[in-house]
Structures are given as C-alpha cells and as structure tokens.
C-alpha cells in the first residue's frame, strides 16, 4: 500500500546491493536474481503532468516482472535552454512525479543526454522512452547511443494528449480563461491584461450572466408549460373516466332495463293492489247468528221489467221501504 511519495535519489542510497551485472532484455523478461530488481530509467520534462505521462511511466514500470523505476526530471535552466519556457517550475514538476504511483525514485536535475557515468552511478539497466527519434542539442536522436548499447526499451505514446496540446488549448481559448480568472478575483495585472481588455472581459461577463438568466427563465417557463400540459392531460383523462362512469351509472339507473323502471313497476303494482283489493272466496264461512232471532226470510226480488217512468221507479222504492219497516 502506497502511503508516502517516492523519495529523491540524492536523499536515499542505491537499493541495489548485489554487484551490478549487465543484463539483456531476454534475461530481464525471464526474471532477474531475487536479490535485486531490474532498474529501469525514464526521463523527461513532465510539464503539466497528464495522463500521457502517467501511461508512459506505467509501461516503463511493467516492462519486466520485477522492476524498479527511476524517473529523471530536467531542471528549469536546462529545459529553457534546449526546449523552451515551461508552465510549471522545476519544484512543481518534481513533486508531480513523486506522487505518481508507478515511480519508485525521482532524480532531480537529470542530464539532457545520458552519459556512461550517469548510468553507472545510478546502476541503470535499461532506458525506457517512446521509439520516435528525439532530436535535440545538435543530435538527431539523443537516445541513439543507448539504442546501440542494447539498453533501450520502447514505450507507446498516448495519442490525443500532450503538454503542447494543452498549451494550445489555453492559447486558443485565452479570452475565456482570462474572463474566468477575472471573475474569480484575479487582477488584470496578475493576468497581464490591459485596461481596455479588462473592461471588455468584465462587460462580456455581465452579458453572459444576463444570457444565463434569460436561459434559466426560458427553461423554467418551458418546464412550467410542460407541467401545465401534463396536468391538463391528466385532468382531461380523469374527466373522461368520470364522464364514462356517470353515463354508465345513468344508463344503469334510467335505461330501458334500468333499476328505476323496475322500481317504478313495483310501486305501480303495489298502488293497483291498494286501490283494487282481491275479493274474498265464496267458500268462506258465514258469521254465526244470534239464536234469539229467527232468520229473516229471504228477500224476493221481483224480476220484472224496469219501470217505464221515473214515477213508477219511485213508487217501487217506497213500497220496498214500507215492507222493510213492517218486517222490523
């Protein structure tokens, strides 16, 4: 488990205890003696340390089953002389390398061209770098003598990212980064921005803020309209469901075969029964009569032809009434 950054070479002694014997690449890949690992060296500027640098160091570390990776970092004076100005100073670049997980040891103020004395001092077995010829310091390839000695092991470059690419992005979008840093509190003097450009950048920042506010209002209004449409759709759907339910209940109650018609028919039948009750059967028993009274003789209804005039009808009625009085 890594708990501390890699040490500097001038602060620690060489970890190779056995006599340094020259190894071939085939021997190193088969496995070296157990008393020491293969010492692999990789060097560079490592300005704006990025994933391409880390990937190259990972390849150098994993070239052999058991390896110890030393990384040489050139100083500012040497880099500015042979390559150009750097974004990060040498101290920042040293510290960036110390905190890479693949690095075992960092060599500060590394030489631009590797000498036999330097290789012997650090007991380096192999040098790892990409195979593209690196022309510098009046040489077509600064690693030519290392390749001829059989100590060079190539690594693969990571396409699409490099320190030059990152600097190109910054230069291309300089106005964007200048405006951003002004907004974050940096002064125009710190950014090396003129008075006119400072006012222009600040005005552009205000315009961008207004655009952002308008954009937020538009997004909120769109969201509000969407919610209203969604709610209206839900209301219409619920209204349709309720209307279907209401129509179904109405038809069930008032339709041709509905419950209301059946109830009306039942009530009509009860009312008819109440107004015209059923007649009692002829075989019902007669009431008991008092023994003291003799049964009255049956009335004899004269089945004659009806009277021809009202006077005759009244006379017949009077005679019937007199007869009843006689009986009493």
pLDDT: which is higher, 51 or 305: 51
Mean pLDDT, residues 296-315 taken together: 49
Angle between helices 174-183 and 163-172 in degrees, nearest 10? 70
**Nearest Cα residue to 42 out of 136, 140, 120, 114:** 114
User: Is the model's pLDDT at 327 over the cut of 50?
Assistant: no
pLDDT in tens, 147-163: 999 999 999 999 999 99
Q: Are 27 and 67 in contact (CB under 8 A)?
A: no
Q: How many CB atoms lie within 10 A of CB 75?
A: 19
User: Is the model's pLDDT at 133 over the cut of 70?
Assistant: yes
Mean pLDDT, residues 16-22 taken together: 64
User: From CA 166, how far away is CA 163, in angstroms rounded?
Assistant: 5
Q: pTM for this structure?
A: 0.61
- DSSP strands (E only) in the chain: 38-44, 67-73, 105-108, 126-130, 152-155
**Parts of the chain belonging to CATH 3.40.50.620:** 25-155
pLDDT band at 33; cut points 50, 70, 90: confident
Which pairs with CB-CB distance under 8 Å and at least 24 residues apart come from 147-153? 150/24, 150/25, 151/119, 151/124, 151/125, 151/126, 151/127, 152/126, 152/127, 153/25, 153/40, 153/60, 153/63, 153/126, 153/127, 153/128
Coil, strand or helix: which one is 106?
A: strand
Q: Are 72 and 109 in contact (CB under 8 A)?
A: no
pLDDT band at 317; cut points 50, 70, 90: very low
* End-to-end Cα separation, the chain, in angstroms: 139
User: Is the model's pLDDT at 75 over the cut of 50?
Assistant: yes
Alpha helices in 32-152 (DSSP H): 51-61, 76-82, 90-98, 116-121, 144-148
Q: What secondary structure letter does DSSP report for 137?
A: T
Encoded tokens for 104: 């075992």
Alpha-carbon separation of residue 234 from 138, 222, 240, 245 (angstroms)? 79, 18, 10, 16
pLDDT band at 117; cut points 50, 70, 90: very high
Each residue of 274-296: b (16+ CB within 10 Å) or e?
eeeeeeeeeeeeeeeeeeeeeee
Q: How many CB atoms lie within 10 A of CB 157?
A: 15
CATH annotation of 25-155: 3.40.50.620
User: Is the model's pLDDT at 191 over the cut of 70?
Assistant: yes
Q: Are 90 and 3 in contact (CB under 8 A)?
A: no
User: From CA 72, how far away is CA 80, in angstroms rounded?
Assistant: 16
Mean pLDDT of the chain: 80
Coil, strand or helix: which one is 153?
A: strand
């Amino acid at each position: 488990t890594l708990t501390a950054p890699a040490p500097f070479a001038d602060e620690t002694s060489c970890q190779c205890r056995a006599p340094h014997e020259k190894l071939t690449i085939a021997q190193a890949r088969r496995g070296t003696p157990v008393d020491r690992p293969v010492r692999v060296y990789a060097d560079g500027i490592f300005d704006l340390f990025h994933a391409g640098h880390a990937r190259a160091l990972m390849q150098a570390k994993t070239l052999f089953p058991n390896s110890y990776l030393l990384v040489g970092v050139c100083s500012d004076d040497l880099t500015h002389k042979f390559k150009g100005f750097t974004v990060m100073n040498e101290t920042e670049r040293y510290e960036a390398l110390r905190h890479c997980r693949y690095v075992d040891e960092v060599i500060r103020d590394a030489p631009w061209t590797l000498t036999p004395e330097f290789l012997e001092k650090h007991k380096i077995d192999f040098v790892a770098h990409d195979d593209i010829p690196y022309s510098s310091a009046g040489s077509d390839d600064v690693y030519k003598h290392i390749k001829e000695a059989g100590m060079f092991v190539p690594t693969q470059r990571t396409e699409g990212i490099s320190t030059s690419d990152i600097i190109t992005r910054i230069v291309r979008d300089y106005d964007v980064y200048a405006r951003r840093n002004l907004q974050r509190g940096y002064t125009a003097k710190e950014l090396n921005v003129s008075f006119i450009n400072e006012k222009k950048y600040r005005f552009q920042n205000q315009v961008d803020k207004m655009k952002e506010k308008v954009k937020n209002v538009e997004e909120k209004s769109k969201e509000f309209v969407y919610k209203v449409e969604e709610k209206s759709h839900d209301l219409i759907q619920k209204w349709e469901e309720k209307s279907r339910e209401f129509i179904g209940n109405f038809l069930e109650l008032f339709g041709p075969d509905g419950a209301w018609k059946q109830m009306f028919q039942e009530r009509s039948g009860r009312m008819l029964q109440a107004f015209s009750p059923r007649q009692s059967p002829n075989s019902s028993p007669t009431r008991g009569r008092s023994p003291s009274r003799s049964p009255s003789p049956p009335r004899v209804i004269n089945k004659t032809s009806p009277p021809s005039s009202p006077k005759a009808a009244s006379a017949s009625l009077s005679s019937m009434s007199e007869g009843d009085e006689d009986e009493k």
